[in-house]
Amino acid sequence: MNRPTVILDRDGVINADSDAYIKSVEEWRPLPGSIDAIARLSRAGWRVLVCTNQSGVGRGLLSETTLASIHDTLCRQVEEQGGHIDGIFHCPHRPEEGCDCRKPRPGLLHRAAERFNLELRDLPVIGDSQRDLDAARAVGALPLLVRTGNGEATAAQPAHGATAIYADLPTAADALLQGVHPTGKESGQ
Distance CA 168, CA 140 (A): 23
Full strand arrangement of the beta sheet holding 142-146 = 87-91, 47-53, 5-8, 124-127, 142-146, 164-166
Q: Is 11 a catalytic residue?
A: yes
Residue 86 annotated as catalytic: no
What are the DSSP E strand ranges found in 22-177? 47-53, 87-91, 124-127, 142-146, 164-166
Q: What is the CA radius of gyration of the chain?
A: 15
Catalytic residue among 9, 17, 36, 168: 9
What residues are paired with 7 via a beta bridge? 49, 125
**179, 187, 176: which is closest to 42 by C-alpha?**
176
Report the catalytic residues: 9, 11
